[in-house]
Amino acid sequence: MDSAAAGRAARALELLHSFTYFAPEVHSELGAVGLEGAAMKYVASRVAPMGAVGPGVATATFYNFAPRLIESALPAAWQIATPSQVYAARLRGVDAAMTRWLGAEITTSPDMVEAAEIVASIARSVPGVDGRALYAGYTDQPWPEAPHLIFWHSLTLLREYRGDGHVAALQGAGLTGLDALITHTAGGIGFSAEFAKASRGWADGEWDEAEASLRARGLIDRAGELTGEGFEVRELVEDLTDDLAAEPWAAAGEETTERLLDLAVPWRDTIADGGPIPDGVFGPRFGDAR
């Protein structure tokens, strides 16, 4: 199984992890432990497996968020609830969200048990934590017991493992976090620009300044779209991201991966059709939205 096929498989399953960032059940559980506002809930719940880290660590690992947004959430969140309390609340919310949006007939089904076993075996075959800081935090968390939560936890491990490698690829291409966000949206593969600014905390002036720099480098044109050179850079980033994340998928092999996709893609489509995903989150394909 080549790295491009592994990348397609990872992107095909991305929504089954990421929809929980927007699920009202998750927001409710995080609110119940005292967290306030979408930014604090997102930042604290995602970084909680790394412990009570400060805004610098979260900014570095999330990569394309404005520092001021991270600073609005940390360290204030840890004065309200401990990282373990926040992560437990997130998992309760994921449990409720998956049960609601997929239905108990799916979350308790033999197909879910099979899918959880497959994706857990893939996640467990990740070769190590070297250079994968956010992924490493999640490896320290105990495995849940319910099959649908094993499924989600495994996807999360694979997502953050891939994401850490994606950051390395972006740095190798000379793209800052904001550069990465702009070129990602300019390629039509992910967030709309307006959603990206709002959700990542960037001001119009900062965005415009970064766009000017990317135009000077020949990566985007005056319409804010990728140039040919810009597409080449993004393709190199995506190819390297696929290469850096391919090993556990390759170990599983094409037949096992196809079986997982046969089981899980219909669940993804159920969420995509009726789940809590706001407009502007995804473009024509599910890409890396680090």
Domain boundary assignment for the chain: 3-274
Q: Which helix (H) or strand (E) holds 90?
A: helix 83-102
pLDDT of residue 34: 98
Query: pTM score, two decimals?
Result: 0.93
pLDDT per position in the chain (290 positions), as tens?
899 999 999 999 999 999 999 999 999 999 999 999 999 999 999 999 999 999 999 999 999 999 999 999 999 999 999 999 999 999 999 999 999 999 999 999 999 999 999 999 999 999 999 999 999 999 999 999 999 999 999 999 999 999 999 999 999 999 999 999 999 999 877 678 898 999 999 999 999 999 999 999 999 999 999 999 999 999 999 999 999 999 999 999 999 999 999 999 999 999 988 767 665 554 433 334 33
What ranges make up the beta strands (E) of the chain?
none
SS3 content of the chain, % helix, strand, coil (to 5): 70, 0, 25
In this predicted structure, what is the pLDDT of residue 191? 78
Distance CA 25, CA 185 (A): 28
Q: Pick the closest to residue 263 from 30, 13, 36 (CA basis).
A: 13
**Ordered alpha helix ranges (H), 173-281:** 177-186, 193-200, 204-216, 228-245, 247-252, 254-274
Q: Using CA atoms, how far apart are residues 204 and 201, in angstroms rounded to an integer?
A: 10
d(CA 44, CA 90): 10
Token couple for 240: 């390297």
Predicted pLDDT at 283: 42
Asked if 73 contacts 43 with a C-beta cutoff of 8 angstroms, the reply is yes
Specify the pLDDT at position 275.
65
